[in-house]
């Protein structure tokens, strides 16, 4: 058989269409009758929020490329204009489905349950009168009608603003177009006075009282519309004098960016529509007619109503069994969290485990512990009232060395992060806020603590942001560890944020953009070698996106070698599964549940000696090449068992899981008349069971919670997890001396801390990096000490000569 050309566009799905397919799955949850009514409404609101961002970022970027004359093709063979055209065609029916379902099913269902959104003219006369009084007193003073006529220019329409387009006349033949912006600082849902559970939309209330706002005019039409603008506005970082000034300018430019979508009432007259199209510079393909509410995002307000009968059972994050509940004493001072972490790694899984009781507690303890010398953290997104930031400020007030990396280019959080930068700097904290050409996407924190046996490093490496709000709705993992190698690796990463360069030598962490792509590629290829040799070979990866063409090609080659591959990809996926002779062994899954699946887990079976990793990076080009990312190995058997349980529960889910067809479309995983297995419900139950059992693992890994074991259980002795270890395993040093007293050689290990580490081996306890870049392994501390002296004391003497 001839070698297949795996760069052929037929093997790759389009990124934009793949993301739109994910939004369709979100919409399907909003129309799934198995979900309670307010849960369905929540998904309809998320569909609006997500597609707004999709048009601002992705469609905006395509239009920018078209305007710049870009004609190059993506790996799937499409030009920007072809992608733009197809995306608009694919999106249009989705908006129609959202409106239709709301109008014909969900709105009547909510009305039957006592939650009604009504037209003003359907209310009783006394209710209309009270609402009119409310309008005149509270809403009218905030409105500013902007007329468009020979004496007035066409008004500026801000991004995502909802507006009324009014056609009116004063008795003459000329018609005037007036734009009225719906005030964003007023509640969109206006309660009907003295009628619990009944609302009108503010735009309908304004329309019904236009005679008070535009008196003595003849109103011929009132239509609603919403504008979406491009958010892909950038400045060249290489020529930016100050990153803060650059980000502030980008935020300002977004206000006036190109319009990429115009949503209008289904019955908007051609006169109003033509005015909007002409002055907003959009064509018919960018106009979306809506039959019903144009914007559903404000309906989150209804989702928050105290109606538990219309929602899924409430979930409150639980304490981690090894850390216990946070007491008031622990909030005010230090606690034993460092002792617990040093006793063994802790794996936190949000929102199953409390963010406040794990990550926030770790940083709070660091801020108040007199033995802590330094605290460092990388902030990508955080809450507006962040206790994480407050802990860092407290740490500085308590005399700790504090360094914070705040990523100013975190899209749509730029303004919030700018405010935090200013506050941190006012507290005298050293803040790094971005690097040229890279975004900092790591979810990492480092605590340096003085202890009886020396300085100890405590690390947190996570998959999610230091954001207490999203930690309640995003499914994320975080490793708390006292592993010295991971601590040293994080020290190098944080030094990069404030220093001139990023080291490319790491003991355990996979760091983008320097080592991560190479190491992941090696691990995929190693599975292929195992498969060709007849050994156990399996890859299971849980990520948010698989977009990088090179990683897709590596997975195709592994599949062709016989590796069984399961990809749990939440949204974007370029890979086509089920192609004969190419991806027969690949299955692509997607899980859409009440929590946003955000954790990244990487499993490589490695001939029966699995390797496990978690971290911040997806398999997208931006993550591997253009962001600072951190992925950590998980080496503790108990924690690996928990990760195995998460993946097995995900792969056996028959409620929230979708499976991709080779054409890029998705179908729900078949239930086969078996009991419902919802992975998120399974993990909630496992978390509660673990808490009931008392001190111990964070999840009760009970086999009967899932149908069958899908991954190998053997997590015994492994090769050392070093980034350049020899492929055949550990090579001991031939000259190792017999064990004897170390003779007080602590200074040698301190002096050459970057040249030794503890390998993951039951045989060898010490590893030394030699001056020629190789490694030597030792059973005793004294053997490692002698090698360090021989390598580096002598080399320094030669340099001095």
Between 777 and 475, residue with greater pLDDT:
475
List the single range of 335-344, 670-679, 752-761, 783-792 with lowest mean pLDDT.
752-761
Q: How many CB atoms lie within 10 A of CB 278?
A: 10
pLDDT digits (tens, 9 = 90+) for 572-586: 999 999 999 999 999
Q: Give me the half-sphere count of Cα atoms (radius 13 Å) on the Cβ side of residue 82.
A: 10
pLDDT of 420 = 61
Rounded to an integer, what distance in angstroms lies between the CA atom of residue 126 and that of residue 403?
A: 61
Rounded to an integer, what distance in angstroms lies between the CA atom of residue 538 and that of residue 605?
A: 5
Take residue 112 and report the two structure tokens written for it. 């039957």
**640-674 burial, b for 16+ CB within 10 Å, e for fewer?**
bbbbbbbbbbbbbbbbbbbebebebebeebeeeee
Helices (H), 369-440: 387-397, 414-426
How do beta strands 474-481 and 596-597 pair?
parallel
* Closest listed residue to residue 349, CA positions, set 497, 217, 480, 258: 480
State the Cα angle at 244 between 242 and 250, rounded to 5°: 105
Active site residue 441: yes
Q: Decide if 368 contacts 394 (C-beta within 8 A).
A: yes
Name residue, tokens 């006292």: 482
% residues pLDDT > 90 (the chain) = 67
pLDDT of 771 = 78
Position 705 confidence tier, pLDDT thresholds 50, 70, 90: low
458 Cα distance to chain centroid = 24
Kindly name the residue from 349, 350, 353, 441 that is annotated as catalytic: 441
Residue 201 backbone phi and psi in degrees, to 5 = -80, 140
pLDDT digits (tens, 9 = 90+) for 777-796: 777 787 788 888 878 875 43
pLDDT digits (tens, 9 = 90+) for 55-65: 999 999 899 88
Cα–Cα distance list, 720 to 457, 639, 765, 770, 776 (Å): 21, 18, 11, 16, 12
pLDDT of 325 = 81
pLDDT of 618 = 97
Rounded to an integer, what distance in angstroms lies between the CA atom of residue 209 and that of residue 244?
A: 44
Is the pLDDT confidence value at 728 over 70? no
Is the pLDDT confidence value at 44 over 80? yes
Q: What is the mean pLDDT of the chain?
A: 87
Rounded to an integer, what distance in angstroms lies between the CA atom of residue 754 and that of residue 762?
A: 22
Omega of the bond prior to 351 within 30 degrees of 0, cis? Answer: yes
pLDDT of 235 = 44
DSSP-assigned letter for residue 801: -
Rounded to an integer, what distance in angstroms lies between the CA atom of residue 391 and that of residue 602?
A: 31
* Closest listed residue to residue 634, CA positions, set 522, 480, 452: 480
């Amino acid at each position: 058989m001839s070698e297949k050309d795996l760069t052929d566009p037929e093997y790759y799905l389009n990124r934009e269409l793949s993301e739109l397919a994910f939004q369709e799955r979100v919409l399907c949850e909003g129309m799934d009758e198995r979900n309670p009514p307010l849960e369905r409404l929540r998904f309809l609101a998320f569909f609006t929020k997500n597609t707004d961002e999709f048009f601002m970022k992705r469609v905006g970027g395509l239009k920018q490329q078209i305007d710049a004359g870009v004609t190059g093709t993506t790996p799937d063979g499409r030009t920007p204009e072809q992608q733009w055209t197809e995306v608009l065609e694919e999106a249009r029916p989705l908006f129609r489905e959202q409106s239709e379902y709301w109008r014909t099913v969900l709105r009547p269902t909510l009305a039957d349950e006592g939650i009604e959104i009504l037209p003003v003219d359907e209310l009783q006369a006394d209710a209309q009168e009270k609402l009119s009084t409310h309008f005149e007193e509270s809403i009218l003073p905030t409105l500013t009608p902007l007329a468009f006529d020979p004496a007035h220019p066409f008004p500026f329409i801000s991004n995502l603003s909802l507006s009324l387009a009014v056609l009116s006349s004063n008795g003459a033949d000329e018609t005037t177009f007036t734009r009225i912006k719906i005030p964003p600082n007023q509640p969109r849902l206006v309660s009907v006075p003295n009628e619990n559970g009944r609302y009108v939309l503010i735009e309908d209330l304004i329309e019904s009282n236009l005679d008070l706002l535009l008196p003595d005019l003849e109103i011929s039409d009132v239509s609603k519309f919403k504008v979406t603008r491009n958010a892909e506005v950038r400045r060249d970082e290489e020529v930016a004098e100050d990153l803060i000034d650059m980000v502030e300018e980008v935020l300002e430019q977004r206000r006036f960016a190109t319009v990429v979508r115009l949503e209008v009432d289904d019955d908007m007259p051609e006169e109003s529509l033509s005015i909007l199209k002409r002055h907003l510079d959009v064509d018919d393909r960018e106009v979306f007619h809506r039959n019903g509410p144009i914007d559903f995002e404000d309906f989150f307000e209804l989702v928050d109503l105290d109606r538990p009968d219309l929602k899924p059972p409430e979930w409150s994050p639980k304490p981690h069994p090894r850390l216990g509940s946070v007491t008031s004493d622990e909030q005010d001072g230090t606690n034993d969290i460092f002792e617990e972490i040093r006793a063994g790694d802790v794996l936190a899984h949000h929102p199953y485990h409390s963010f406040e009781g794990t990550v926030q507690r770790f940083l709070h303890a660091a801020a108040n512990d007199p033995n802590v010398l330094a605290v460092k953290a990388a902030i990508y997104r955080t809450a507006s009232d962040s206790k994480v930031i407050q802990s860092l400020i407290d740490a500085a007030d308590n005399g700790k060395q504090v360094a914070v990396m705040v990523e100013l280019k975190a899209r749509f959080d730029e303004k919030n992060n700018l405010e935090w930068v200013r506050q941190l700097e006012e507290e005298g904290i050293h803040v790094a806020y971005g690097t040229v050409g890279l975004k900092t996407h790591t979810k990492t924190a480092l605590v340096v603590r003085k202890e009886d046996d020396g300085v100890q490093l405590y690390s947190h490496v996570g998959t999610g942001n230091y954001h207490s709000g999203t930690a309640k709705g995003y499914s994320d993992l975080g490793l708390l560890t006292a592993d010295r190698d991971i601590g040293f690796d994080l020290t190098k990463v944080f030094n990069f944020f404030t220093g001139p360069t990023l080291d490319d030598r790491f003991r355990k962490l996979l760091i983008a953009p320097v080592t991560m792509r190479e190491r992941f590629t090696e691990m995929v290829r190693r599975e292929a070698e195992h498969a060709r040799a007849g050994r156990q070979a399996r890859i299971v990866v849980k990520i948010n996106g698989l977009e990088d063409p090179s990683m897709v090609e590596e997975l195709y080659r592994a599949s062709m070698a016989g590796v069984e591959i399961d990809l749990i990809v939440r949204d974007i996926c370029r890979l086509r599964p089920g192609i004969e002779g190419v991806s027969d062994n690949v299955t692509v899954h997607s899980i859409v549940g009440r929590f946003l699946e955000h954790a990244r887990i990487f499993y490589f079976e490695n001939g029966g000696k699995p390797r496990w990793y978690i971290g911040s990076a997806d398999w997208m080009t931006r993550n591997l090449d253009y962001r600072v990312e951190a992925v950590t190995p998980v080496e503790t058997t108990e924690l690996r068992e928990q990760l195995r349980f998460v993946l097995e529960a995900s792969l056996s889910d028959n409620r929230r899981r979708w499976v991709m067809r080779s054409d890029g479309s998705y179908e729900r995983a078949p239930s086969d008349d078996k009991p419902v297995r919802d992975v998120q419900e399974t993990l909630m139950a496992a978390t509660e069971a673990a808490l009931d059992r008392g001190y111990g693992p964070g999840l009760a890994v009970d086999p009967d919670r899932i149908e069958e074991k899908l991954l190998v259980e053997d997590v015994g002795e492994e090769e050392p997890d070093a980034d350049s270890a020899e492929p055949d395993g550990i090579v001991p040093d031939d000259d190792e001396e017999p064990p004897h007293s170390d003779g007080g050689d602590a200074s040698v290990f301190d002096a050459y801390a970057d040249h030794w580490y503890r390998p993951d081996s039951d045989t060898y306890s010490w590893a030394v990096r030699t001056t020629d870049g190789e490694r030597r392994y030792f059973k005793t501390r004294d053997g490692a000490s002698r090698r360090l002296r021989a390598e580096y004391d002598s080399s320094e003497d030669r340099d001095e000569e």
